[in-house]
Structure formats: C-alpha cells, structure tokens
Amino acid sequence: MSGKVKDFLTKYTMVLALVIVFALFSFLTDGRLLYAQNMSNLLLQNGYVLVLACGMLLCILTGGNIDLSVGSVNCLVGCVAAVLVVNYGFNPILTIVLCLIVGILVGVWQGYWIGYMRIPPFITTLAGMFIFRGIGRVIVGGKTVAMQNNLFLDAFTAYVNIPGLDDNVKYSAIIVGVIAAVYVIFNTVNSRRNKAKKGYRQNSATADFGKAFIIAAVILWYCYQLSQYKGIPVMMIWVVAVCLIYNFITSKTAFGRYFYAVGGNEKATKLSGIDTNKIYFVAYTNMGLLAGLAGLLCLARIGSVNGNSGTSFEMDAIGSCFIGGASAYGGVGTVGGVVIGALLLGVINMGMSIMGIGDSWQYIVKGGVLLVAVVFDVISNRKSN
C-alpha cells in the first residue's frame, strides 16, 4: 500500500466509517433512515451532543482531560429554567440569559479549582457531577416540570418559515444549502490562492476541490431533505453557530492554539510565556457555558425536566471527541472531527432505533466503537514515537 493511500486512510478513517455505517443502516432499514423527517431528527436529537462536544474538545486538548459534570450541569440549568418560567413566571428570554450565566458560574467554580488550585480535573468534575445533579433535584423537588411556554420553546424548537416562500416546499432550506455549498467551494479557492501567494505547501488541486465538492454535495442533499419536511429548525442554527465559532477559535486564532500547546507540552508552553493556568480555567469555564446551553436545548426539545435529565450526556460528548480523532493524550483534535464523531454515534442510535433494537445493544455498539477509536489513537501514537 502506497504512503499516500495510508495517509489518506489514517486522516479520513472516521469519515469513511461514517459513510459505511450510514450506508449499512440505510440498507438494513430499507431506506427509512433516509426519510426527510429522520434526517431532520438526526440533527435535533444530537444537537446537545455537538454543543457539549465542542466544549469537551477544549478540555481534552489540554492533556486528555475530561469533564464528568456536564450531564449534571445540563440537568441543573434545565431545572432552573423550568422552575423560573413555570413556577415563577419569569420572562423566557431573561431566563435564557440567567441560565447561561448559571452555566458560566459553574464553569468558573470548576475552572478555579482545576486551573489555579491544580485539583485534578477528574476529581473536581466528579465532585461536580454529584453536587450539581443534587442541586437540580432539590430545585424541582423530585418532580418532573413540564415547559409549556411557547416563547421559550420557539427560541430553540421552531422552524424557519418565510411566508410566500415556505408554503409547501420549504425553499428557504434549499437557498441556505446553495449559499453554504457555494461558500465551501469559494473558501477552498481562496485558501489555495492565499497559500500559493505565501509559498506554503498544499494538497493537490484534485484532492482539495474533490473534498470541497463532496462537502458541498452533502450540504445540498441534506438541505433538500430538510425542505421536504419542515425546513430549517432553529436548533440547527444554534448548533451550527456553536460549531462554526469553535472551529474558528481552534483553527484560526492564536488563543485557540494555546489549548493544543498546553496538551502537547505544558512545561514548554509555560516557558514560552503563556499562562497555562488561565488556559485550564478558560477551558472549564467555557464547558460550563456550553453545558448550560445544552441544558436549554434539551429542555426545549424534550419539553420537560426532572432530576434524572442529562444522565450519561458526558459520555456522549467524550465519545464524540475521541471517535472524531481527539487524542487521549491531548494536543490533537478538531471541531470537524467532533462533528463526524457525533454524527457517527447519532446514525448508530437512529439506525438501531428504527430497526427496533433496544438501548442495551446500542450501548454495547457505541462502547465498541469508542474502544476501537481510542485503540487506533494509542497505536498511532506508539508508531509515531
């Protein structure tokens, strides 16, 4: 096998796995996986995973560290939002802002202990997992609180509907897909031009444009599927915005590169003048913010919350990161990889659900996929060393 083929397989292993799994379940479900409603639900059901995984990625980049409390923070914020709106009649928009602040405060609390007091992240967030879930249960008093405020629900679960344009077919989804596809191709052209001007080494034009056209085609197909159902969900806007923001931070900013540097070699990073304590602090404060947002998304999606909400959500986020190529040793990982990992888990969940396979087997399969991804990472690191 040539070196180029090996490099390609190594770089795009999880992308190929996603394509194979998607094709497999499309066949096993007699095409039901491809129904427009299921394609729309694929994103809605995994929106919280993508949001949590973007935050978890920053934690993992700092050295393979994880946050075990995100499911409990998700529960806490959902409980706070439901009680404020339902029991006390708070304005839904003000409640959303307050709940995001609650998430930030939780992150500041944990970030302080981890970043400045150097308490191990595993211990700090394990304690947080118990503390914040307990507080959430106290807030709702062991009951299930249903969220029925339309303004709150519409802020996360409504669909884009332009009168005169989105009557039968949701043409706004197709328009957005065309714009996004054109942007992908334009960005590839612009990137290659800039690299050529600066004399940087780059991939062949065939590889770059082939990748761009495939991504553009997938976007167009997915947006067409959305147009055949209810159009673009507002939750998709939230999720895509988060992914784009964190992709920009990690790939285009110097501050984003600090997380990679800390995970690669913390001592060298500190000697170069970077405040590594601050990097840890920001990573976990940010995780609190995104856990809070995920809690609001889940509350709106499910329509209710109780003391058990958010259970095992941290595992979905961690699994998405590692399956998507984040290294268990830190310093390696991308938002694009996280998206692939989350979608792979989402397709597995949806495909097995459509086939009527129980949760127990879904856990077994997801665990197996995660183990294979981490083993692949470990073996790759051994070979490189």
Q: Mark whether 37 and 122 lie in a shared domain.
A: yes
Q: Mark whether 213 and 347 lie in a shared domain.
A: no
User: Which of 170, 205, 232 corresponds to the end of one domain?
Assistant: 232
- Determine the residue type at 82: A
Task: Tell me which residue of 370, 256, 332 sits closest to 61, measured CA to CA.
Answer: 332
- Checking if the pLDDT of 1 tops 60, the result is no
- Residue 264 is part of which domain span? 33-158+234-384
Q: What is the pLDDT of residue 382?
A: 61
- 7-11, 138-142, 291-295 — which is least confidently predicted? 7-11
C-alpha–C-alpha distance, residues 53 and 259, integer Å? 15
- 7-11, 62-66, 69-73, 128-132 — which is least confidently predicted? 7-11
pLDDT in tens, 298-330: 999 999 999 999 998 999 999 999 988 898 888
C-alpha–C-alpha distance, residues 245 and 296, integer Å? 19
Task: Tell me which residue of 149, 135, 128 sits closest to 82, measured CA to CA.
Answer: 149
Task: Tell me which residue of 5, 10, 4, 7 sits closest to 376, measured CA to CA.
Answer: 10
- Checking if the pLDDT of 6 tops 80, the result is no
Q: Mark whether 189 and 263 lie in a shared domain.
A: no
pLDDT in tens, 144-175: 999 999 999 999 999 998 888 888 889 999 99
Task: Tell me which residue of 247, 246, 237 sits closest to 173, measured CA to CA.
Answer: 237
Q: Mark whether 169 and 220 lie in a shared domain.
A: yes
State both tokens at 1.
């096998």
Supply the mean pLDDT for the chain.
Answer: 91
Residue 326 lies in a domain: yes
Q: Mark whether 239 and 220 lie in a shared domain.
A: no
Question: Band of the pLDDT at 109, cuts 50, 70, 90?
Answer: very high
User: Which of 216, 232, 248 corresponds to the end of one domain?
Assistant: 232
- Checking if the pLDDT of 4 tops 80, the result is no
Residue 23 lies in a domain: no
Residue 119 lies in a domain: yes
Q: pTM for this one?
A: 0.92
Q: What percent of the chain has pLDDT over 70?
A: 95
Q: Mark whether 252 and 313 lie in a shared domain.
A: yes
Number of domains in the chain: 2
User: Which of 210, 232, 254 corresponds to the end of one domain?
Assistant: 232
Give the HSE-up count for residue 355: Cα atoms under 13 Å, Cβ half-sphere: 19
- State the sign of the Cα–Cα–Cα–Cα dihedral 238, 333, 125, 349: positive
3-state helix, strand, coil in the chain (%, to 5): 75, 0, 20
